[in-house]
Structure 1
Amino acid sequence: MLLRQERIALFLLCIVALGLVIATAILAGVDNATLATEYRADSRDGIFVHLSGVTAEVRTTQAGGHIIATVNGTKVFIPSDTARDVALNPGDQVSLYGIVQTYRGEREIVVNSHTDITVLGTSGSVENGREQR
């Protein structure tokens, strides 16, 4: 038989576990569009944003295999582990989600998952440039 304090602790533990299960189920149904704000030039670092437009430039870095793209004049950084699963070319119409950051004094959006970038329309393949990063 459990002591009174043990029963209370077990009850509270069950309530917390149930709360976590419910929160997980609710958050699983929330998509990026609900969480993100539209990117603006004055969006602060650390904000989760949405940006859509046409890629004007796409480069793969020599060191690391990251992708650096320009979408509607905004620099977009895609780390190598995400870049492996992304096929992006200049002229592509894209919709993406990422975190705003400042890198070497320049604003950029960092896309951390291949599921956070969608190519809505393609323009055809163009040879990518190289940039050291």
Structure 2
Amino acid sequence: MLGTNHSVMIERQERTALLILLVILISCGIFAWVGEGVGKGPFARNYTSQSQEGELVSFQGIVQTVTHTATGENLILDLGGVTIFIPSPAAGMAEISQGDIIRVYGTVQIWKGKREILVKDPGDLTVLVGPQGKNLRS
């Protein structure tokens, strides 16, 4: 049938389904935006020696030692007996010195039988007080 005009009509159920899908997409976008603004803080638990492997934790302390791994690309920090491991992508952005007071967010992992906090994102490490006691947060 050439030349016949078929108009496309969207049924009521289809319109409802499209509206629901649109509301869900907008809601997901809003939650993602709000989640980025809030950060990991509200979701992280304070780190203890009892924190479970894979748990999102936060920890604040004074950097006792800064060690570069054999390749020099990863960092290992000792914060008074709590080990922080920062892999190369995040470590390259970090400027940390002995004596700095830092706060980190990361996941607990066991490496060679020892518990440590893995920090994957440079934004999950904040130097609160840097060299000579200079407060870097203000």
TM-score using structure 2 length? 0.80
Q: Which has the higher strand share?
A: 1
Greater RCO (CA < 8 Å, at least 6 residues apart): 1
Once residues 102 and 57 of structure 2 are traced to their aligned partners in structure 1, the CA distance between those partners, rounded to angstroms, is 14
Match of 1:116 among 118, 121, 124: 124
Match of 1:103 among 106, 111, 116: 111
Identity of aligned residues (%): 34
CA distance 1:18–1:99, shift in 2 (3 Å): same
Per-residue Cα deviation, 1:17-64 (whole angstroms, up to 9, x for no partner): 122133223323323321211110000011111111111111111236
Q: Which residue of 1 aligns with 2:88?
A: 80
TM-score using structure 1 length? 0.83
Q: Which residue of 2 aligns with 1:19?
A: 27
Structure whose CA Rg is larger? 2
Aligned length: 124
- List gaps (5 residues or longer) in structure 2: 1-8, 133-138
After TM superposition, the structure 1 stretch with the greater mean CA deviation from structure 2, 10-19 or 47-56, is: 10-19
Corresponding letter in the other structure for 1:29: G
